[in-house]
């Protein structure tokens, strides 16, 4: 099965990191990515720029409303994701626990909805 691992964290805390701490975290992420690839579980991943760079768009009655910022103000912000392949939720959760930011923020695991199951049965 495919799962998306969504990484949420407090951006303001991350911004306060020293350069050494930042480097350390990056090294950990690189190791995590390598481990995923070696296990054949890696499908893709990206890191997102902070929510201060976010723009939210809504179309209502044909009109486009563009606003500054994320769609919701929350204590922890979505900062990146991994798309992985895992035999079951248990293995996906194991990978999630290995995400370096799981120690400081929250990691959400969502199963990917397969295309051939979009239509209601």
Partner 1 sequence: MSQVTSEAVERVFRAESGAILATLLRVLKDFDLAEEVLQDSLVAAMETWPRGGIPDNPGAWLTTTARNRAIDRRRKNQNTVRVMPLLVPEEEIAEAPCGEDAVNTAWSTDFGDDRLRLIFTCCHPSLNRDAQIALTLKTLGGLQTEEIARAFLLTPASLAQRLVRAKRKIREAGIPYRIPEADELGERLPPVLHVLYLIFNEGYVGTTSADLLREDLCQEAIRLTRVLHALMPGEAELRGLLALLLFQNARRLARTSESGDPILLEDQDRSRWNRAEIEEAKQLLQGLDSRAGPYTVQAAIAGCHSTARSAKDTDWAQILKLYDALWKLHPTDVVALNRTVALAQVHGWERALKETDALETRLRHYLYFHSTRADFLRRLGRTGEARRAYETALGLTKNESELRFLRSRLEECE
Stretch that binds partner 1, among 5-13, 41-49, 67-75, 86-94 (CB under 8 A): 86-94
d(CA 80, CA 15): 15
Would you tell me how many other CB atoms lie within 10 Å of the CB of residue 105?
Answer: 19
Taking the least distance from each CB to partner 1, the nearer of 7 and 92 is 92
Q: Is 111 in the site for partner 1 (CB under 8 A)?
A: yes
DSSP string, 11-39: HHHHHT--HHHHHHHHHHHHHHHHHHHHT
Selected from 20, 57, 65, 119, the binder of partner 1 by CB under 8 A is: 119
Residues 2-21: x where in contact with partner 1 by CB under 8 A, - otherwise, as a string: -x------------------
């Amino acid at each position: 099965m495919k799962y998306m691992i969504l990484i949420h964290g407090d951006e303001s805390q991350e911004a306060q990191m020293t350069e050494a701490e930042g480097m350390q975290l990056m090294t950990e992420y690189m190791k995590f990515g390598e481990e995923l690839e070696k296990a054949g579980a890696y499908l893709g991943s990206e890191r997102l720029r902070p929510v201060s760079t976010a723009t939210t768009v809504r179309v209502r009655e044909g009109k486009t409303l563009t606003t500054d910022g994320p769609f919701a103000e929350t204590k922890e912000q979505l900062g990146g994701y991994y798309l992985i392949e895992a035999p079951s939720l248990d293995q996906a959760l194991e990978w999630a626990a290995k995400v370096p930011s799981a120690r400081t923020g929250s990691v959400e695991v969502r199963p990917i909805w397969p295309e051939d199951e979009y239509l209601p049965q």
